[in-house]
Structure 1
Amino acid sequence: MDFGIKVGTPEKQSGDCMVMGIFESRKLTDSAEILDTIAGGYVNDILHTGDMDGKANTTLLLHNLPNAQCKRVLLVGLGKEPVLSDKAYISVIHSVFDALHKTGIADTALFLTEIPVKERTVEWKISQIVIAAMGSIYQFDRLKSKLKENKRCLRKVVLNIADRKNLSVGKEALQQGLAIAHGMNLAKDLGNLAPNICTPTYLAKQAADMAKTHKLKISVLEEKDMEKLGMGSLLAVAQGSHQPAKLIVLEYRGKGKTEKPVVLVGKGVTFDTGGISLKPAADMDEMKYDMCGAASVLGTLTAIAEMKLPINVVGIIPATENMPGGNATKPGDVVTSLSGQTIEILNTDAEGRLILCDALTYAERFKPQVVIDIATLTGACVVALGNVTTGLLSNDDKLAQELLLAGEQSSDRAWQLPLWDDYQDLLRSNFADIANIGGRTAGTITAACFLSRFTDKYHWAHLDIAGTAWKSGKEKGSTGRPVPLLTQYLIARARKSD
Structure 2
Amino acid sequence: MIQLVSVNVVNESIFDVIILVSDGVKSLSLLEGKYNEIRLAVENFSKICCSLDEGNDWLIPSEKIPAKRLIYSSTGSIHGDFDDVRKYMKAGIAAGKRFLMTGARSPLLITLPTERFPAAQICSAIGFLHSLYTPLLNREKIENFVEKADLIGILEFKKCQKIENFVPYGSLDDFLQGIQSSFNLCRDIGDGDPQRMSPSRVVEYILKEFKDSSIKINVIENKDQILKNYPLMAAVSRSANNIEEHRARLIWLEYIGEGEITETLFIVGKGVTIDTGGANLKVGTSMYGMSRDKYGSAVLADAEGRLAMADALTEMKELVRRALKARNPHLMTIATLTGHVVLSYGHCSAAMDNGPARAVNYAEQLKQTGDVFGQPVEVSRLFSEDFAFHSSDVQTAQLKQSDIGPSVQTLRGHQGPAAFLICASGLSECGLDSAHPIKYTHLDIGHVMGAYPKCSLPSPLLTLIAHHILPKTKFQEWEVKIIS
TM-score (norm 1): 0.77
Matched position secondary structure for 2:48 = helix
Instruction: Look up the match of 2:415.
Output: 445
Q: Which amino acid aligns with 1:414?
A: V
Q: How many Å separate the matches in 2 of 1:476 and 1:100?
A: 19
Query: Which sits farther off after the overlay, 29-38 or 362-371?
Result: 29-38
Matches within 5 A, 1:444-463: 444-453=414-423, 454=425, 455-456=427-428, 457=430, 458-463=438-443
* Change beyond 3 A, Cα 1:162–1:486: closer
Aligned-pair distance for 1:52? Answer: 5.7
* Closer, same or farther: CA 62–28 of 1 in aligned 2, 3 Å: farther
Q: Are 2:122 and 1:127 equivalent residues in the alignment?
A: yes
Looking at structure 2, the residues matched to 82 and 379 of structure 1 have their Cα atoms a distance apart, in angstroms, of: 33
Kept after mapping to 2: 8 A contact 1:409/1:488: no
CA separation in 1, counterparts of 2:18 and 2:470? 33
> Which residue of structure 1 aligns with residue 3 of structure 2?
2
Larger proportion of strand: 1
5+ residue gaps in structure 1? 298-347
* 2:369 matches 1:406: yes
The yes-or-no answer on 1:357 pairing with 2:310 is yes
Q: Which whole-Å CA distance do the structure 1 matches of 2:313 and 2:18 have between them?
A: 50
Q: Deviations over 1:63-101 (max 9, x none)?
A: 313xx4442233333535569731222222223222222
1:57 and 1:85 map into 2 onto residues whose CA distance is 17
Relative to the length of structure 2, the TM-score reads: 0.79
Indicate if the aligned counterparts of 1:393 and 1:419 stay in contact, CA closer than 8 A.
yes
Matches of 1:479 and 1:105, distance apart in 2: 24
The answer for the alignment partner of 1:245 in structure 2 is 248
| 3-state SS of paired residue (2:92) | helix
1:464 maps to which residue?
444
Counterpart residue number, 1:71: 68
Do 1:372 and 1:463's aligned partners in 2 also have CA atoms closer than 8 Å? Answer: yes
From 93, 114, 117, give the equivalent of 1:116.
114
- RMSD value over aligned CA atoms? 3.5
1:478 aligns with 456
Q: Identity across aligned pairs (percent)?
A: 22
Q: Report the count of equivalent residues.
A: 435
How many angstroms apart in 1 are the aligned matches of 2:219 and 2:179? 26
Give, in angstroms, the shift of residue 38 of structure 1: 5.7
Using a 3 Å threshold, how does the CA distance of structure 1 residues 361 and 3 change in structure 2: closer, same or farther?
same
Checking the alignment, whether the CA contact within 8 Å between 2:335 and 2:445 is kept in structure 1 is yes
Which of 352, 358, 370 pairs up with 2:330? Answer: 370
Partner of 1:306: none
The Cα of 1:434 is off from its aligned counterpart by 0.3
SS of residue matched to 1:392 = strand
Give 1:389 shift: 0.4
User: Could you tell me which amino acid in structure 1 is paired with residue 70 of structure 2?
Assistant: V
Which of 378, 386, 395 is residue 423 of structure 1 equivalent to? Answer: 386
Contact 1:100 1:154 survives alignment (8 Å): no
Change (3 A) 1:238 1:256: farther
Q: Does 1:137 align with 2:100?
A: no
Following superposition of structure 1 onto structure 2, how do residues 2-401 of structure 1 map, counting pairs within 5 Å?
Answer: 2-8=3-9, 12=11, 14=13, 15-20=15-20, 26-27=25-26, 29-34=28-33, 44-50=43-49, 53-65=52-64, 68-80=65-77, 85-112=84-111, 114-118=112-116, 120-121=117-118, 124-140=119-135, 142=137, 152=148, 155-162=151-158, 166=164, 169-221=168-220, 222-229=222-229, 231-241=230-240, 242=242, 243-255=246-258, 261-297=264-300, 350-367=303-320, 369-386=329-346, 388-395=347-354, 396-397=357-358, 398-401=361-364
